Structure 1
Amino acid sequence: MLKNNQGVITTYSPDSGGTIVSIIATLQPLILLFVSSLILMMGHGLSGILLPVRLATDNISLPVSGFILSMYSFGFLLGANIAKRILNQIGQVRTFAMCGSLTATAILLMGLRDDIFIWASMRGLMGFCIACACVTLDSWFGSVSNEQNRGRILGINQLVILTALTLGQFALLIAPPSGSTLFVLCGILFSLSITPLVFVSHYEPSIEQTPLLPLRQLFALSPQGVVTGFLCGMLYSAMVNLLPLYAGSEHITGLRLSLFMGAAMVGGIVLQLPIGYLSDRFERKKVILGCCLLLSLTTLALPATVAAGLFDAALLCSAITMGIIACLYPLSISEAFDQARQEQLVPVLAGLLSVYATGAMIAPYSATVVMQHQGEVAVFGFMLAVELLLIAFTLYRMKVAAPITVEAQETFVMHNPNTIHEELDPRTAYRETSEDFEQAMNELERLAAEHPNNAIAFIRAMSAARPDWAATLTEKAAQFPEVDTVLLFRALTMLNSELAVDIANRLAQGTPEQVEALVTWLLDKEPENALTLLANIAFVAQAQQASVVDTLAQTNPEQIQAFSQEYVDAMAENVASLRAPDREKINIEHCVTGLLDSVTAAAPEQLKQVEAIVDEHMSELEEEKEPPEHPPNTDESLQK
């Protein structure tokens, strides 16, 4: 039994894969985090519609209004890039408290003073704080989720955020935007968002700094993803910030304005499902192209329906337009993920967020310069020009780049451009950060230093309670040369025999002496599935390949062919289990040549039979390894 984040004892059942029996202990932190996210984003949604309306009410010139509104994205970009450094220095609780209080201060100062410099500065501060708050919530959600449910938690939080943003639009009805009441209400919401987190455990998980992927390399990896993300930032920012200005020029105020903007936010929720469905079943660029073609039509239809007095039709056009724009960002992520290796996914996600924020920073000012000369309706002309540019670029990429098969594409995952979700995206590598796990790892280090056998006993006990931790704890234990890998392997496989291959693969990453000891034991004792385990170890630790074949030639030469078959099967299984871009890392020819060389040296009389086994599977392996769209990237920084 282990103690959870709230100090409540919970029991883990090995038969259920480590499912926590205490449902309340599991849901309590999640509910509090969702409530905090809801309140924070309600304040954000209200401020998002309040500020453009107030700028129009005060007759601030359009370019100045655009500059002020653009400062949010500048602050958001800055916050997204340094938030994890702040988290590492002062922790989650202090970071979120700082963000809530500073955001409340910023909006209250904007309500008290009409100074343009103060408004621009405070708008930038709000963007900075919202970004830091999102990173904090993301790390918090990660620490109370697991590999199986983090995708669902991400989806639920996205719905919570979009719902909160929608509700925030209707708070505009409480008081006129010309007064200070709504600014005070925003400040209250931002301040209240801190309260639920007071009741969440103050456990601080370790925060890893996201590695940076230079823009040049990101663009080389996925031109379509970068351009789509950048232009999506321009479209989303123009729609959110400038649609209220257009609505005001058409005398859409009060409840009708809230409905108008609320419909846009609802579209951002509803259309994620059908577009995500299409994205997973058709070639990605075709889906992006189809979305852009439909978007260009609704961009033209929206001002036409408003001018014709068809308000219901205008609401529908607003929902579809914003819904498609909101989907372009996750589509750009999925498009880039199609090309990226597993270790690149988080840097790609961080890079695309910066690209998106840059586009969002440029759009409001650029569009308002056009609107200054052509009128508020010119915002749709600006958006149409951006959409046509994206259509042209997508057609170009479809012509010059070979399509990726649907089977090789990454799945679509809902992402809201208002937030940051690196750790919760189920496509990225999972890193356990719960308090229980951190305590287990610390205890393992202490016991390994005290006495290696105590560490093995601890891992066995922990694996009985949490089988999903067994492989990770084994890999950690293999880092200590004193740990007896044979004893560790036997202890864990007696308890969880189905994990034998995974555990052997993790131990194969230990020191050469440890791996050699395990190989010797498997060859000597010949436990169940010994050849399968040896084949996997030989594939993971290529240095052991010749040793295994040589020993088999001396003791059981009749098993060399069976071992070769297992080796080829292990290679095929490993290749098939990888994402398409990750298969480029495996040098199949090197692996096969090493096997044939080992057989030639140890048992040349069996070379022809082994060659036949290899030849039978080589074409199949090469097809599996076929790169998705481009040849392997040889840039050293991308190989790290």
Structure 2
Amino acid sequence: MQSVISNCWSLFLGMGLIMLGNGLQGTLLGVRASLENFGTIITGMMMSGYFLGLIFGCNFVPKMVGQVGHIRTFGALASLASTSILVQAIFVDPWVWWAMRIVTGFAYSGLYIVAESWLNDSADNSSRGKILSLYMLVSLGGMAGGQLLLNIAEPTGFELFVVVSLLISLALIPILLSATRAPYVEVMENVGILRLYRVSPLGVFGMVVVGMAMGAIYGMGAVYATDRGMSVRDVSLFMTALILGGFVFQYPLGWLSDRIGRRKIILLCSASGAVFSFLSMGLSGNEIFFLPAVAVVGGFSLPLYALCGVHINDYLTPTQMVAASGTLVLLSSLGATAGPPVTALAMDIFGPQAFYGSVGMMLTSLTLFALWRSTQRVALDAEEQGDFVVMATSPLTASLNPDVALDDIEAAIGEDTEEVISSFEELANVLEAVAEEGKEKEP
């Protein structure tokens, strides 16, 4: 582990700063939108822009890297993310903010892809699992820490917007000055959604529903807390409890899923998350039980992303895992794009407590679907499953999966790369033939 940290410390430091900024930015915008009376539905639409940007970024950033290189791409996208939050500080308008949220999502997806490709390039088969675990620790820790930064200034001012911009700009320094050599970012071929659904209906349905729940939590959690009259301090603690709950529950639930089966744990998490979501609707005034209940909601909700992803991977070969990773991100992002507007509409009709009700209904639908699927196909035995691996919302995270060898990653590279290699081989054959013909003509 020490060698892993020494080789990649600059990347982890840079990503930690970026996630601090990302955690602070999402909560800050939710609180400020409520204070500015944007309206719940408009705020939900605005917050969904981030996930729409993620979809665009995951599709276009690898092509950008292939054209201009990873260093220029990373620097340009970090500058774009840093600028977009400053635009939101200057122009306090929901439609400007929606456009900037799309820009931010696009930029952040590119930062994740480049950083993860760099980590993957630094890893070998023996260290990939350690790097992935440490990367997720840094990411979730940064997101949770970003919530607490909400307390250093008033959300009605411009100072917190500047802090987000500063954190993103500072993240450039350790990453771009790193002595690590530049990685090569492969463009992977994706597996179609219908094809993936035939492989694992529960996994695909779950990725969409969990994406909706995550979008609701990250996009509307701060709005709910502000509309309930919580102070800035309480809002930051509320969001921190949600995220830390997901982090603390993630590995124990993954360990259990390795031993008693993915479907059972998915069913347990979705049902328990739904129950605690509905119970939390009546606990907002109880300071003793409120934050623990919130942490439990996050603890059962957020790990479902990795559980559903690993459930799909159990039915795929290592090469197919890499090829399917982009589709998993797409499914989750589509759900996350719909989550904030749907939750906002419910909150506008039924009041702030519908935040929990929306998350509860989403998880209830997954519970019912999992129960139905349990009658359609026998679950895999524990021996037939792979090991649980935490997943992040970038297609390149699959390359850090310890079950995926380097040969499997190379096998998943797109047909364009294979055509290039084939062209070089043909050229080499032609040159060899010309050389042989020249030798025959020599006296």
Deviates more, 1:203-212 or 1:38-47: 203-212
CA positional deviation for 1:198: 2.5
Q: Write the distance in 2 (CA, Å) between the matches of 1:27 and 1:402.
A: 42
Which secondary structure state, in structure 1, belongs to the residue aligned with residue 164 of structure 2? helix
Which secondary structure state, in structure 1, belongs to the residue aligned with residue 88 of structure 2? helix
Question: Given the alignment, which residue of 357, 369, 377 partners 2:353?
Answer: 377
- 1:361 paired residue number: 337
- 2:235 paired residue number: 257
CA positional deviation for 1:124: 0.4
- 1:396 paired residue number: 372
| Conserved 8 A contact 1:107-1:183 | yes
| Conserved 8 A contact 2:33-2:43 | yes
- Any residues of structure 2 matched to 1:532-543 within 5 Å, and which? none
Is 1:58 aligned to 2:36, yes or no? Answer: yes
Is 1:289 aligned to 2:267, yes or no? Answer: yes
- 1:333 paired residue number: 309
CA positional deviation for 1:235: 0.5
CA positional deviation for 1:27: 4.3
- Any residues of structure 2 matched to 1:39-188 within 5 Å, and which? 39-188=17-166
Is 1:229 aligned to 2:207, yes or no? Answer: yes
Is 1:242 aligned to 2:220, yes or no? Answer: yes
Q: Write the distance in 2 (CA, Å) between the matches of 1:241 and 1:100.
A: 22
- 2:434 paired residue number: none
| Conserved 8 A contact 2:274-2:361 | no
Q: Which whole-Å deviations, capped at 9, do the CAs of 1:307-328 have from their partners, x for residues lacking one?
A: xx32231111111111221110
Question: Given the alignment, which residue of 318, 340, 345 partners 2:321?
Answer: 345
Deviates more, 1:419-428 or 1:337-346: 419-428
CA positional deviation for 1:223: 0.5
Is 1:423 aligned to 2:399, yes or no? Answer: yes
CA positional deviation for 1:290: 0.8
Equivalent pairs, count:
414
Higher relative contact order (CA 8 A, sep 6+): 2
- Any residues of structure 2 matched to 1:577-616 within 5 Å, and which? none
Q: Which whole-Å deviations, capped at 9, do the CAs of 1:300-359 have from their partners, x for residues lacking one?
A: 1222221xx322311111111112211101111111011112221112221111100000
Q: Write the distance in 1 (CA, Å) between the matches of 2:405 and 2:394.
A: 23
Q: Write the distance in 1 (CA, Å) between the matches of 2:42 and 2:251.
A: 37
Q: Which whole-Å deviations, capped at 9, do the CAs of 1:440-475 have from their partners, x for residues lacking one?
A: xxxxx9xxx9xxxxxxxxxxxxxxxxxxxxxxxxxx
CA gap of 1:419–1:351, structure 2 versus 1, over 3 A, is closer
- 1:387 paired residue number: 363
Which secondary structure state, in structure 1, belongs to the residue aligned with residue 259 of structure 2? coil
Which secondary structure state, in structure 2, belongs to the residue aligned with residue 203 of structure 1? coil
Deviates more, 1:103-112 or 1:318-327: 318-327
Q: Write the distance in 2 (CA, Å) between the matches of 1:301 and 1:414.
A: 28
| Conserved 8 A contact 1:131-1:419 | no
CA positional deviation for 1:211: 0.5
CA positional deviation for 1:205: 2.8
| Conserved 8 A contact 1:138-1:422 | no
- Any residues of structure 2 matched to 1:280-319 within 5 Å, and which? 280-306=258-284, 309-319=285-295
Q: Write the distance in 2 (CA, Å) between the matches of 1:383 and 1:432.
A: 37
| Conserved 8 A contact 1:139-1:207 | yes
- Any residues of structure 2 matched to 1:204-215 within 5 Å, and which? 204-215=182-193
Look up the equivalent residue of 2:220 and give its one-letter code: L
Which secondary structure state, in structure 1, belongs to the residue aligned with residue 391 of structure 2? coil
Q: Which whole-Å deviations, capped at 9, do the CAs of 1:99-119 have from their partners, x for residues lacking one?
A: 111001000000010122211
TM normalised by structure 1 equals: 0.62
Q: Write the distance in 2 (CA, Å) between the matches of 1:95 and 1:258.
A: 32
Q: Write the distance in 2 (CA, Å) between the matches of 1:163 and 1:258.
A: 14
Deviates more, 1:337-346 or 1:121-130: 337-346
- Any residues of structure 2 matched to 1:491-502 within 5 Å, and which? none
Q: Write the distance in 1 (CA, Å) between the matches of 2:287 and 2:328.
A: 36
Question: Given the alignment, which residue of 278, 285, 294 partners 2:256?
Answer: 278
| Conserved 8 A contact 1:225-1:336 | yes
CA positional deviation for 1:420: 5.3
CA gap of 1:90–1:28, structure 2 versus 1, over 3 A, is farther
Question: Given the alignment, which residue of 142, 156, 181 partners 1:203?
Answer: 181
Which secondary structure state, in structure 1, belongs to the residue aligned with residue 77 of structure 2? helix
CA positional deviation for 1:432: 10
- 1:405 paired residue number: 381
Q: Which whole-Å deviations, capped at 9, do the CAs of 1:73-111 have from their partners, x for residues lacking one?
A: 000111112221111112221111111110010000000
| Conserved 8 A contact 1:84-1:207 | yes
CA positional deviation for 1:431: 5.0
| Conserved 8 A contact 1:162-1:269 | yes
Look up the equivalent residue of 2:72 and give its one-letter code: R
CA gap of 1:206–1:125, structure 2 versus 1, over 3 A, is same
Q: CA RMSD for the aligned pairs? A: 2.2
- 1:460 paired residue number: none
Deviates more, 1:424-433 or 1:65-74: 424-433
| Conserved 8 A contact 2:10-2:178 | yes
Q: Which whole-Å deviations, capped at 9, do the CAs of 1:388-443 have from their partners, x for residues lacking one?
A: 1111110111001112111001211112448851221212232599xxxxxxxxxx
Is 1:194 aligned to 2:168, yes or no? Answer: no
